Amino acid sequence: MSCNDKHHYDTNCVCDVVNFINELQDVAQDTCPTGCDNPILGANCGGTSPLANTRPFVLYNKKGELFIPASCFRIAGISLPLPSPFLRVESVDECCAVLRVLVPTLEGLDDEIRSALTEQLGLGGGADVNINFNFDAFDLIARLLICLYSDGISIPTAGGPMNTFFSLAPTNFCITVDLNCFCAIQCLRDTFVRGV
């Protein structure tokens, strides 16, 4: 999805998509239907979350920069709190939306995530990694988490590498946004988020 067409000021594609996601989540079903074009929540979960109740997404501003709210989580072995780009719509009124920040659930995956983060950020893999960085590092971390969420994490097993997908958990951090301020939205794999 992209920015408003200069000739159509009465529509906003980001606003339309967030409204659609909100409607999907409001009528979440208990089964994961098949079919590539089925507009039912859970249709794109690939069997990883048969009881999907959330279509997480990320937003980009009009400069193409990833929107990263000020909510953080921690990974064992990295002393710095990390930003999470994952969002869930809680409510929407026209183009004003309340979004909840979601964070990765990393039980058992901390080592693989830490390894991927330290490798991508060019850091040593010491027991306690401290990161001195600027906004670009936040952006890199967030984009890496999006890729790891979408593609899974390759974990070595006796039978060869296996892709494991982490899920998302709700935070108490909600933010009210004007959807007209965003130019693009990227929807991610549907999932079940406990407690929403």
| 95 has a pLDDT exceeding 80 | yes
Q: Which of 168, 141, 157 is nearest to 55 (CA)?
A: 168
Q: Please give the model's pTM, rounded to 2 decimal places.
A: 0.73
Query: Model confidence over 3-25: pLDDT tens digits?
Result: 445 545 566 788 988 988 888 78
Q: Determine the pLDDT at residue 116.
A: 67
| Cβ atoms within 10 Å, residue 164 | 15
Q: CB–CB of 77/69 below 8 Å?
A: no
How far is Cα 21 from Cα 93, in angstroms, rounded to an integer?
A: 13
What does the block give as tokens for 46?
């690939």
> Which has the higher per-residue pLDDT, 143 or 77?
143
| 147 has a pLDDT exceeding 80 | yes
At 37, the pLDDT band (50, 70, 90 cuts) reads very low
